[in-house]
């Protein structure tokens, strides 16, 4: 299956490791995650071309046909430059309540040490009860409303991440103050030279101390020492963390595009 976008290509790789089902119909790819049905970007359609005139209604209908029980809508486009589609498509999507999401796909073949590394925290792989704190940080850093549905989604996502690590597909690192987890991230290997970062998150109480940059550099060094030739990071272009990644040696390579409609409130 050919996917042009490095972001989506590594997304599908990660989802496959977690038990998601991927089916290529030709025009689009159907991605299902039965173990976590409220995971928007684990249950979505990935189209191979931008939106043409008339595609909005048709693609929304195709999504609901493929996911009749879904309360959300999530549609990706396999583009590398963020092209949404024909004139008027953005406005038509907005009228349907959709949010267009642009992410910056970053890559590095080497990294540099942070200018101001944090030396007070301990950096190590997670084990045992540490995973409960990954869930806690996930709640603390949530950008969505934290309700019962979100808690269930997050519990399932953390369980899936842990299962991937325990199956030997990658590692999960944390920064610790004693036994307290301050920041965490995952690094998954495709065994063909790529390693993809996952869920870089720092507790709000531990930000602006150089912890995230030190942790990413620590994990990057590990990745290169264990077979990775290229590290991949997908970042929010409007969030300050992207400057940390650039300072460490990651460069912008693509713009990843998706659109979503949340469940009706």
How do the pLDDT tens digits run along the chain, 265 residues long?
899 999 999 999 999 998 999 999 999 999 999 999 989 999 999 999 999 999 999 999 999 999 999 999 999 999 999 999 999 999 999 999 999 999 999 999 999 999 999 999 999 999 989 999 999 999 999 888 889 989 999 999 999 999 999 999 999 999 999 999 999 999 999 999 999 999 999 999 999 999 999 999 999 999 999 999 999 999 999 988 999 999 999 999 999 999 999 998 5
Report the CATH fold assignment for 6-104+257-261: Aminopeptidase (3.40.630)
Q: Where are the alpha helices (DSSP H) in the chain?
A: 6-17, 55-66, 89-95, 130-140, 148-166, 211-225, 241-248
Task: Give the predicted TM-score (pTM) of the model.
Answer: 0.92
Q: How far, in Å, CA of 190 to CA of 170, rounded?
A: 9
Q: How far, in Å, CA of 59 to CA of 51, rounded?
A: 9
Burial class (CB in 10 A: 0-12, 13-18, 19+), 115: exposed
Residues 6+ away with beta carbon under 8 Å from 238: none
Domain ranges of the chain: 6-104+257-261, 122-248
**Which residues pair with residue 195 across a beta bridge?**
189, 231
**Which residues pair with residue 105 across a beta bridge?**
234, 254
Residue 185 contacts residue 215 (beta carbons within 8 Å): yes
The single residue listed with the structure tokens 């869930």 is: 135
What is the CATH architecture assignment of 122-248? 3-Layer(aba) Sandwich (3.40)
Give pLDDT, residue 1. Answer: 85
Give pLDDT, residue 104. Answer: 97
Give pLDDT, residue 58. Answer: 97
Q: How far, in Å, CA of 235 to CA of 104, rounded?
A: 5
Q: How far, in Å, CA of 95 to CA of 16, rounded?
A: 33
Q: What angle do CA 38, 61, 24 make, to 5 degrees?
A: 70
Q: Is 136 left (phi over 0), alpha (psi -120 to 50) or beta?
A: alpha
Quote the crossing angle between the two packed helices 211-225 and 241-248, to the nearest 10°. Answer: 40
């Amino acid at each position: 299956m050919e996917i042009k976008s490095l972001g989506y290509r590594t997304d599908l790789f990660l989802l496959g490791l977690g038990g998601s089902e991927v089916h290529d119909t030709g025009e689009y790819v159907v991605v299902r995650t039965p173990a976590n049905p409220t995971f928007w970007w684990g249950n979505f359609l990935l189209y191979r071309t931008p939106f043409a005139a008339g595609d909005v209604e048709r693609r929304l209908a195709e999504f609901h046909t493929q996911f009749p029980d879904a309360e959300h809508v999530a549609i990706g486009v396999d583009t590398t430059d963020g092209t949404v589609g024909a004139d008027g498509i953005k406005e038509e999507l907005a009228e349907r309540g959709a949010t267009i999401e642009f992410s910056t796909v970053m890559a590095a073949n080497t990294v540099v040490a942070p200018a101001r590394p944090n030396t007070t925290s301990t950096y190590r792989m997670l084990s045992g009860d540490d995973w409960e704190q990954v869930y806690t940080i996930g709640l603390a850093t949530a950008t969505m409303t934290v309700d019962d549905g979100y808690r269930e989604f997050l519990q399932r996502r953390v369980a899936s991440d842990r299962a991937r690590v325990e199956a030997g597909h990658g590692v999960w690192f944390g920064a610790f103050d004693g036994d307290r987890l301050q920041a965490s991230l995952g690094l998954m290997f495709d065994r063909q030279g790529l390693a993809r970062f996952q869920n870089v998150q720092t507790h709000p109480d531990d930000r602006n101390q150089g912890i995230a940059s030190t942790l990413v550099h620590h994990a990057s060094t590990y990745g290169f020492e264990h077979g990775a030739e290229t590290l991949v990071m997908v970042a929010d272009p409007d969030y300050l963390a992207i400057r940390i990644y650039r300072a460490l040696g990651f460069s912008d390579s693509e713009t990843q595009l998706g659109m979503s409609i949340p469940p009706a409130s």
